[in-house]
Amino acid sequence: MKRYSSFAIVREAFRNHSGWKKAWESPIPKRKYDVVIVGAGGHGLATAYYLGKNHGITNVAVLEKGWLGGGNTGRNTTIIRSNYLQDPSAAIYEKSRSLYENLSQDLNYNLMFSPRGVMMLAQTEHEVRGYKRTAMANALQGVSTEYINPEKVKDLCPIINLSGPRYPVLGALWQARGGTARHDAVAWGYARKCSDMGMHILQQKEVTSIISKNGKIGGVTTTDGDILCDKLCIVVAGHSGALAEMGGFRLPLESVALQALVSEPIKPVMDVVVMANTVHGYMSQSDKGEMVIGGGADGYNNYTQRGSFHHIEETVRSLVETFPMISRLKMLRQWGGIVDMTGDRSPIISKTPLENCFINCGWGTGGFKAIPGSGWATAEMVATGEAGPLASPFSLNRFKEGRFIDESVAAGVAH
């Protein structure tokens, strides 16, 4: 693989850019692999990458029914943070955030990681108490956050209106090392490295059934035939329930649409990420100048990937009070992603009742920020057959045993 560098850019400029190669190959599938990963989104590709990097397993195929990164990885609002309340959540999200900081160098691919800072507004007395509690928990967990007063909020984000008639800003939970990254680039960077290690990324390969014998995985049937494997890892976000049913087991989650929109591009007015759980909205400004706005998830199960006007209206109406200047902007585009929600709003990284079949799902509205840490933990589980310290709290057994990891507050707004 040719290494990307400033020297390479200059050299190719003099060669009319004729020397660039494909970022990843489109190989002919083999009959059998050591590991098959279903889902070529961020989590699936990260799992494949860390299987190769950390465990030396490269006879891997990553199957995708559509195009690489065409699911939730390319449909989110790119927020990265780790200020969660529960210890298992803080551990895996902080691992992910720390990996993001050096991921561009690790992958030799510019992910446009921007540690601009993330603030979660406290707009009720209940949220003030909750965020102060989270800040204290984060201090014990080694996660750097702080509770800030309204004056500091205004200093960090001058366009904010502190004295909204319904939802005044009483303070915020601030994580200075949180931020954003380019969602497409994360998928492309991982795919490029996986391909360089000899892994097969197979697009337009929808899995139609799972092959098993005597309770043990044997492979998958795709739209182009059977692919055998020793181990199978399912990482398909909102479609996890459908794949689990093919394997003969059920998952305690539901799939709903999560929506977002961007405005027309404007000059820079905001260099932080602001989340407002009370009004179910959050906003940042992209490098192109668009105001990236996210809202809540649909209140009913569905598999749509488009937005709905009533949710957009509700989100924008609430945010206009906190950011009056956006009332003058035009909406450029809107979209939806299919997220899989568990009852405790925490993910599942676990073995399944089918031997040598593993699953990574249930990230709900917080999947993008978790990609590197999720891939790291899932790869360890697939390679060794047992969940490591990052993944073990998120096993399927917790629902049977009542060991819930309640992050309904931290995940209370779509992000």
Instruction: Output the domain CATH number for residue 328.
Output: 3.30.9.10
| Strand 32-38 to 60-63 pairing | parallel
**Do 265 and 328 reside in the same domain of the chain?**
yes
> What range does the domain containing 262 cover?
118-179+255-342
In a domain, 196, yes or no: yes
Which domain CATH number covers 40?
A: 3.50.50.60
Which of 342, 363, 390 is the endpoint of a domain? 342
Write the pLDDT tens digit of every residue in 327-359. 999 999 999 899 999 999 999 999 999 999 999
Q: Which segment of 58-72, 288-302, 370-384 scores lowest on mean pLDDT? A: 288-302
In-domain check, residue 92 = no
40 and 188 within one domain: yes
pTM: 0.95
Confidence of residue 415 (pLDDT cuts 50, 70, 90): very low
CB atoms within 10 A of CB 260: 23
Do 268 and 135 share a structural domain? yes
In a domain, 170, yes or no: yes
Question: Between residues 318 and 28, which one has the greater pLDDT?
Answer: 28
The Cα–Cα gap between 51 and 284 comes to 33
Q: How far apart are alpha carbons 121 and 275 in whole angstroms? A: 6
> Which residues have CB under 8 Å from 86's CB, separation 6+?
346, 405, 406, 407
Q: Which range among 192-196, 237-241, 314-318, 339-343 shows the weakest confidence by mean pLDDT? A: 314-318
Same domain? 265 vs 173: yes
381, 283: one domain: no
Kindly state whether residue 385 falls inside one of the protein's structural domains: yes
**Judgement on whether residues 237 and 261 belong to the same structural domain of the protein:** no
Instruction: Name the residue among 353, 414, 358 with its Cα closest to residue 382.
Output: 358
CA–CA distance, 345 with 253 (Å, rounded to integer) = 9
In a domain, 387, yes or no: yes
362-397 pLDDT, tens digit each: 999 889 999 999 999 999 999 999 999 999 999 999
At 411, the pLDDT band (50, 70, 90 cuts) reads: low
Q: Per the domain annotation, does 166 fall within a domain?
A: yes
The tokens of 242 are what? 């459908």
Pick the last residue of a domain from 300, 326, 342.
Answer: 342
The number of distinct structural domains making up the chain is 2
As a whole number, mean pLDDT of residues 214-235 equals 97
Residues 337 and 189 in one domain: no
What pLDDT digit, counting tens, does each position of 85-125 carry? 999 999 999 999 999 999 999 999 999 999 999 999 999 99
321 compared with 180, residue with greater pLDDT: 180
- Per DSSP, helices labelled H in 360-396 are 371-384
CA distance 196 to 1: 6
Residues 162 and 298 reside in one and the same domain: yes
Q: Are residues 167 and 283 in the same domain?
A: yes
Q: How confident is the model at residue 413 (pLDDT cuts 50, 70, 90)?
A: very low
Q: How far apart are CA 41 and CA 190, in angstroms?
A: 10
CB atoms within 10 A of CB 160: 23
What average pLDDT does the segment 253-271 reach?
Answer: 94
Burial profile 367-383: b = 16 or more Cβ within 10 angstroms, e = fewer:
bbbbbbbbbbbbbbbbb
Q: What is the DSSP letter of 355?
A: B
Residues 382 and 368 in one domain: yes
406/38: higher pLDDT: 38
Same domain, 70 and 198: yes
Q: Is 157 within a domain?
A: yes
> Is residue 412 predicted with pLDDT exceeding 70?
no
- pLDDT at 281 (0 to 100): 87
- Pair 263, 336 in one domain: yes
pLDDT at 307: 73
Nearest alpha carbon to residue 292 among 272, 321, 317: 272
